């Protein structure tokens, strides 16, 4: 759609956000989760010092590692994913000077919930936040010549699984329990400050664009800069944002359910499991009431996020709705001969639009989520077709820039950028108001999956724009020809913000990422520009490591 006890920095970060948006640990009853649970360790000093001694509730028994060796670890299996709030460590004389509290939901992918290099033994009572089944103390520097030894290793919290129909989030914003690929950058500063900036921007975005118009229990995201006051693209953005901000916004589930009701009450006239693309001021579907692929992709993805956040036993069965929506996309918005996305369910074999695709719809991480949710291997084929097309377009038509065009034509024979206007604008074949989103969309997959093709595509874009602008985000123009020639002057978040996600993939781009982040922070929300504000908000979510794939 074209528009115009001991604490750490991380612990204090999460506590700051939580103190504003959620009950504090002191306000909620805590449960000791670790006592008597299975525990393992990298080593033991001798018989009688097994890992289980640290979780047996007996302060006179202890775990001890081999002496004189780094690193060493001990971990406890809580039995199921739990929301954890506190870790209490009672050290014997053999304490850790440097260690991390690491958490995982599967025992293989870990993220740090706490880290220190200045441990001094005694008792460390740590405020942490996250959802985990496994909690590990990873010692990297001993405080003595001995090993590591704990009398007690206690984990506190509560059930982190999505309660049936409940409002508590399983993956709360700011929890950072689903890590990115190794080496992905984030803006400089404390995690708490980064998260707080996103929450602040979200609140302003919500005030500007989230509405409850026309009654019927509906919520909508308004689009004052689009052709109609309500468009599917905006509702898709709203669903993804609401589900992601759960835990930060107590109304997130209520808003999401209102958007779901809007979707269900505005079905596409062609495939009723899809969302009608446009509605008028009276909330009635217009222009044929058919579907638009960009909105449908995010609606399906948002429903998967909601299923992970809240479960599907409430008012709406999110998982069932998601799978129906995903299958409808496959049936009516995927071209079966090219495996590329069509513009919507309204184009069919024989019409002039059947072999045209919009690059900003190519959401690779969404394809991965669809494959996981449905078990349908066709989504692997579809994902591969889009990634191959990205690589071919970059190599064949934008070798020096990596830029993608708004629209690709002749997808059945020799795919190439549109020549002039094919749907919306004379610049349909350039990096314009649709393709401006592609550095974000490609980057979302790169930072979460570490896929080599997504990384290569994102890094190509990042290298060119950083060089083109001399590292000054103020020089990012509004649109480029694929050879890098500027189309329009001015500065717009829809164009500069997405490059921040591409910047995350390059270890040498920290200063550039920081400049882009500061540019975003310094740009006020235009209440007449839902498009740019919605893109920037989702970019901010990604670059602060708050984006996740269900």
Domain parsing of the chain, residue ranges: 9-159, 191-543
CA-derived radius of gyration, the chain = 25
CA-to-CA distance for 318 and 424, rounded, in angstroms? 34
Beta pairing partners, 278: 231
Contact 403, 484 (CB under 8 A): yes
Render 69-96 in DSSP notation, one character per residue.
-S-EEEEEEEEEEEEEEEEEEEE-SS-E
The tens-digit pLDDT sequence of the chain (550 residues) is 444 333 333 333 333 333 333 333 333 346 889 998 999 999 999 999 999 999 988 878 999 999 999 999 999 999 888 889 889 999 999 999 999 999 998 898 898 999 999 899 988 989 888 889 999 999 999 999 999 999 999 999 854 343 333 347 999 999 998 999 999 999 999 999 999 999 999 999 999 999 999 999 999 999 999 999 999 999 999 999 999 999 999 999 999 999 999 999 999 999 999 999 999 999 999 999 999 999 999 999 999 999 999 999 999 999 999 999 999 999 999 999 999 999 999 999 999 999 999 999 999 999 999 999 999 999 999 999 999 999 999 999 999 999 999 999 999 999 999 999 999 999 999 999 999 999 999 999 999 999 999 999 999 999 999 999 999 999 999 999 999 999 999 999 999 999 999 999 999 999 999 999 999 999 999 889 999 999 999 999 999 999 999 9
Q: Which CATH number, 3.40.50.720, 2.60.120.260, 1.10.240.10, 3.40.190.10, labels domain 9-159?
A: 2.60.120.260
C-alpha torsion 537→543→545→547, nearest 10: 50
What is the model's pTM? 0.73
Task: Provide the terminal-to-terminal Cα distance of the chain, rounded to the nearest Å.
Answer: 25
Print burial letters for 94-131: b (CB count within 10 Å at least 16), e (below 16).
bbbbbbbbbbbbeeeebbbbbbbeebebeebebbbbbb
Three-state DSSP at 208 gives helix
Take residue 525 and report the two structure tokens written for it.
């929300």
DSSP lists the bridge partners of residue 157 as: 31, 84
Question: For residue 35, with 0-12 CB atoms within 10 Å meaning exposed, 13-18 middle and 19 or more buried, which class applies?
Answer: middle
Domain at 191-543: CATH architecture:
Alpha/alpha barrel (1.50)
DSSP symbol at 408: E
Owner of token pair 């950058």:
185
Phi, psi of 170 (to 5 degrees): -75, -30
Place of tokens 């995010």: 298
Question: How many CB atoms are located within 10 Å of the residue 26 CB?
Answer: 8
Tokens 């069932």 belong to residue: 320
State the catalytic residues: 233, 294
Q: State how far the alpha carbon of 35 is from the alpha carbons of 38, 169, 292, in Å.
A: 9, 25, 52
């Amino acid at each position: 759609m074209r528009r115009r006890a001991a604490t750490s920095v991380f612990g204090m970060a999460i506590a700051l956000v939580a103190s504003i948006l959620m009950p504090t640990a002191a306000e909620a009853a805590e449960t000791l989760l670790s006592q008597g649970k299975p525990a393992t360790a990298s080593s033991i000093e001798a018989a009688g010092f097994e890992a289980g001694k640290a979780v047996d509730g007996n302060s006179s028994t202890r775990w001890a590692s081999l002496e004189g060796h780094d690193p060493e670890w001990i971990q406890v299996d809580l039995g199921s994913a739990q929301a954890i709030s506190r870790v209490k460590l009672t050290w014997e004389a053999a304490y850790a000077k440097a260690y991390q509290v690491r958490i995982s939901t599967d025992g293989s992918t870990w993220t740090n919930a706490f880290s220190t290099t200045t441990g001094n033994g005694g008792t460390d009572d740590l405020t942490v936040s996250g959802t985990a089944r496994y909690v590990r103390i990873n010692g990297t520097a001993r405080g003595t010549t001995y090993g590591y030894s704990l009398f007690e290793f206690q984990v506190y919290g509560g059930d982190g699984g999505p309660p049936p129909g409940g409002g508590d989030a399983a993956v709360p914003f700011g929890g950072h329990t689903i890590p990115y690929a190794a080496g992905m950058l984030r803006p400089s500063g404390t995690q708490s400050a980064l998260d707080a900036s996103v929450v602040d921007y979200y609140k302003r975005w919500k005030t500007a664009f989230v509405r409850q118009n026309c009654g019927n229990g509906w919520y909508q995201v308004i689009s004052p800069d689009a052709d109609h006051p309500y468009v599917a693209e905006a509702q898709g953005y709203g669903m993804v944002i609401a589900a992601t901000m759960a835990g930060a916004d107590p109304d997130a589930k209520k808003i999401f359910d209102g958007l779901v009701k809007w979707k269900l009450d505005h079905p596409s006239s062609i495939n009723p499991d899809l969302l009608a693309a446009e509605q008028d001021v009276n909330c009635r579907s217009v222009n044929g009431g058919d579907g638009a692929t960009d909105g449908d992709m995010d609606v399906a993805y948002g429903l998967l996020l909601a299923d992970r956040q809240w479960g599907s036993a409430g008012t709406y069965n999110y998982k069932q709705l998601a799978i129906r929506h995903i299958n409808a996309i496959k049936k009516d918005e995927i071209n079966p001969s090219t495996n590329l996305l069509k513009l919507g369910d309204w184009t069919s074999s024989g019409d002039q639009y059947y072999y045209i695709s919009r690059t900003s719809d190519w959401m690779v991480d969404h394809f991965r989520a669809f494959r996981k949710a449905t078990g349908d291997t066709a989504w692997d084929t579809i994902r591969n077709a889009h990634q191959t097309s990205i690589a071919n377009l970059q190599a064949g038509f934008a070798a020096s820039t990596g830029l993608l065009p708004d629209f690709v034509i002749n997808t059945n024979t020799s795919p190439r950028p549109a020549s002039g206007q094919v749907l919306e604008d004379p610049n349909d074949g350039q990096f314009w108001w649709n393709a401006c989103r592609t550095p974000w969309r490609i980057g979302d997959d790169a930072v979460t999956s570490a896929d080599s093709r997504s990384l290569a595509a994102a890094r190509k874009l990042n290298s060119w724009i950083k060089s083109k602008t001399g590292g000054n985000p103020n020089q990012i123009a509004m649109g480029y020809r694929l050879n890098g020639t500027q189309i329009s002057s001015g500065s717009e978040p829809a164009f500069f913000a997405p490059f921040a996600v591409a910047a995350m993939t390059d270890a040498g781009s920290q200063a550039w990422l920081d400049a882009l982040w500061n540019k975003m922070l310094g740009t006020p929300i235009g209440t007449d520009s839902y498009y740019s504000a919605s893109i920037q908000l989702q970019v901010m979510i990604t670059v602060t490591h708050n984006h996740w794939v269900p």
